[in-house]
Amino acid sequence: MTAGGHGFDGVERRGLMFVLSSPSGAGKTTLSRLLIERMPGLKMSVSATTRPMRPGEIDGRDYLFVDKSRFEAMVKRDELLEWATVFDNRYGTPREPVETALSAGQDVLFDIDWQGTQQLREKARADVVSVFILPPSAADLEKRLHTRAQDADAVIRGRMSRATHELSHWAEYDYIVINHDIDEAFAEVQSILKAERLKRERRTGLTTFVRELQRQLEK
Q: Which of 51, 95, 144, 148 is in the footprint of ligand 5GP by CB under 6 A?
A: 51
- Interaction of residue 141 with ligand 5GP, rule CB under 6 A: no
How near is the Cβ of 183 to ligand 5GP at its closest, in Å? 22
Piece in contact with ligand 5GP (CB under 6 A), picked from 79-87, 97-105, 126-134, 141-149: 79-87
Closer residue to ligand 5GP (CB): 47 or 204: 47
- Interaction of residue 190 with ligand 5GP, rule CB under 6 A: no
- Interaction of residue 112 with ligand 5GP, rule CB under 6 A: yes
Mention every residue, 6+ apart, whose C-beta is less than 8 A from residue 48: 63, 64, 66, 70, 71, 74, 80, 90, 91, 92, 93, 94
CA distance 6 to 160: 43
- Interaction of residue 93 with ligand 5GP, rule CB under 6 A: yes
Q: Which of 17, 50, 106, 111 is in the footprint of ligand 5GP by CB under 6 A?
A: 111
How near is the Cβ of 185 to ligand 5GP at its closest, in Å? 16
- Interaction of residue 193 with ligand 5GP, rule CB under 6 A: no
Binding to ligand 5GP, residues 3-42 (CB under 6 A): 24
Q: Which of 84, 102, 108, 193 is in the footprint of ligand 5GP by CB under 6 A?
A: 84
Q: Which of 30, 100, 103, 115 is in the footprint of ligand 5GP by CB under 6 A?
A: 115
# residues near ligand 5GP by CB under 6 A:
14
Piece in contact with ligand 5GP (CB under 6 A), picked from 8-16, 30-38, 69-77, 110-118: 110-118
- Interaction of residue 116 with ligand 5GP, rule CB under 6 A: yes
CA distance 145 to 157: 9
The CA-atom distances, in angstroms, between 198 and each of 7, 112, 173, 218 are 10, 24, 20, 26
- Interaction of residue 71 with ligand 5GP, rule CB under 6 A: no
- Interaction of residue 47 with ligand 5GP, rule CB under 6 A: yes
